[in-house]
């Protein structure tokens, strides 16, 4: 075939591959070093479809014998950009991906790393999400709201292993502890502790400097987990959203106090049979209303907690 005839064919193949892969992410993404082995990228505060979906964090641990990734961001394009950032600092293989929880803004980048044959670990409970109509509906919604970065080739990636309980493993010079905390923020949550660096990657169990999105979380268990975490002596804490906590215990405390405040106020309203709207409007939110995402998340959070407190009092939880 002549070069003249070959060029249109090559262009067609290239264009087809580009369309299949989706548009590349063009957001600003910086891989920041937190400690000797730990790096992370930080999404901007906002709703799930802001900033091309780059609103959550991902961690990277370089061990000398391979790389461990913690969460993979909200689109395959972001996952690919994360991989490019990793490749700029090391050629070590991607050995393992640890998923803090199965929410869309943390998992759609998984397919990039699954295609590299990295082992994927996730907390027990994630299978409930993957089998749910919500998972399928969310993916369809993101194919529309995050088009072209999420497209028809974006797929839900199942983990290689579900963890019912914590585990400890070593890779290269680094010892890791995975703590499975159960259905706290989602159907299943875990955290990753990098022992020699004393760095905790918390997923969405903790939010730094912003109001969390509660969703259908078990807030009772979530608050209990955070109370235990407050006793840890950490060098750094990397949350699922927001920057590295300069004072890890403060970051833990803010999230725990917010959840406890929600639960206490909503429990009182339920006990006294006060309708939600009336109860919400009567509450003084001044301790939290200055936090980012308060306006977007707080009323919805309060309503979800109101419903869950009703269920708890009826013995359904």
Banded pLDDT at 317 (limits 50, 70, 90) = low
Provide the mean pLDDT of the chain.
88
Q: Minimal CA–CA distance to 115: which of 73, 170, 76, 167? A: 76
CA distances from 169 to 72, 80, 225 (A): 20, 26, 22
**Can you give the pLDDT at residue 9?**
38
Neighbours of 144 (CB within 10 A): 9
Those residues with Cβ within 8 angstroms of residue 292's Cβ, 6 or more apart along the chain or in another chain: 45, 209, 210, 211
- The answer to whether residue 299 sits within a structural domain is no
* CATH number of the domain that residue 135 is part of: 3.60.15.10
Number of domains in the chain: 1
Classify residue 208: in a domain, yes or no: yes
- DSSP three-state, residue 198: coil
Task: Label residue 281 exposed, middle or buried (CB < 10 Å: 0-12, 13-18, 19+).
Answer: exposed
Is the pLDDT higher at 125 or at 20?
Answer: 125
Q: Is the pLDDT of residue 18 over 50?
A: no
Q: Is residue 209 part of a domain?
A: yes
Residue at 130 is within a domain: yes
Q: Which of 178, 199, 200 is nearest to 189 (CA)?
A: 178
Q: Which domain does 30 fall in, by range? A: 26-252
Domain membership of residue 282 (yes or no) is no
Q: Is the dihedral of CA 60, 62, 63, 67 positive or negative?
A: positive
Claim: this prediction has a pTM higher than 0.95:
no
Residue 259 has pLDDT above 60, yes or no: yes
For residue 267, is it within any domain? Answer: no
Distance in angstroms (rounded) separating the CA atoms of residues 106 and 239:
12
Is 100 within the bounds of a domain? yes
Q: pLDDT tens digit string along 67-99? A: 999 999 999 999 999 999 999 999 999 999 999
Beta strands in 12-132 (DSSP E): 32-33, 38-41, 58-62, 67-70, 94-98, 119-123
pLDDT score at 21: 52
Residue 1 lies in a domain: no
* pLDDT (0 to 100) of residue 4: 47
- In the chain, DSSP assigns E strands to 32-33, 38-41, 58-62, 67-70, 94-98, 119-123, 161-163, 167-171, 174-182, 189-194, 199-203, 236-239
Q: Three-state SS for 69?
A: strand
């Amino acid at each position: 075939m002549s070069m003249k005839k070959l060029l249109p064919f090559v262009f067609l193949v290239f264009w087809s591959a580009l369309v299949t892969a989706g548009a590349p992410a063009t957001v600003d993404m910086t891989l920041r070093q937190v400690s000797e082995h730990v790096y992370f990228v930080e999404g901007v505060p906002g709703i799930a479809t802001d900033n091309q979906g780059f609103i959550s964090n991902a961690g990277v641990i370089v061990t000398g014998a391979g790389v461990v990734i913690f969460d993979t961001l909200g689109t395959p394009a972001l996952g690919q950009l994360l991989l490019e950032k990793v490749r700029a600092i090391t050629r070590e293989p991607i050995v393992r991906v640890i998923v803090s929880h199965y929410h869309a803004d943390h998992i759609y980048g998984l397919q990039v790393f699954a295609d590299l044959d990295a082992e994927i670990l996730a907390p027990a409970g994630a299978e409930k999400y993957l089998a749910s109509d919500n998972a399928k509906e969310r993916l369809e919604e993101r194919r529309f709201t995050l088009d072209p970065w999420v497209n028809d080739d974006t797929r839900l990636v199942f983990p290689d292993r579900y963890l019912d309980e914590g585990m400890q493993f070593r890779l290269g010079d680094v010892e890791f502890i995975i703590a499975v905390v159960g259905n706290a923020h989602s159907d299943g949550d875990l955290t990753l502790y990098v022992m020699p660096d004393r760095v905790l990657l918390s997923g969405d169990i903790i939010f730094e400097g912003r109001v969390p999105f509660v969703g259908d979380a078990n807030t009772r268990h979530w608050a209990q987990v955070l109370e235990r975490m407050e006793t840890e002596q950490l060098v750094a804490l990397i949350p699922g959203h927001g920057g590295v906590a300069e004072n890890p215990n403060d970051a833990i405390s803010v999230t725990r106090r917010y959840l406890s405040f929600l639960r206490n106020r909503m429990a009182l309203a339920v006990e006294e049979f006060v309708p939600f709207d009336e109860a919400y409007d009567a509450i003084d939110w001044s301790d939290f209303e200055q936090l980012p995402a308060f306006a977007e998340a707080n009323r919805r959070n309060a309503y979800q907690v109101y419903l869950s407190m009703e269920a708890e009092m009826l013995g359904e939880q």
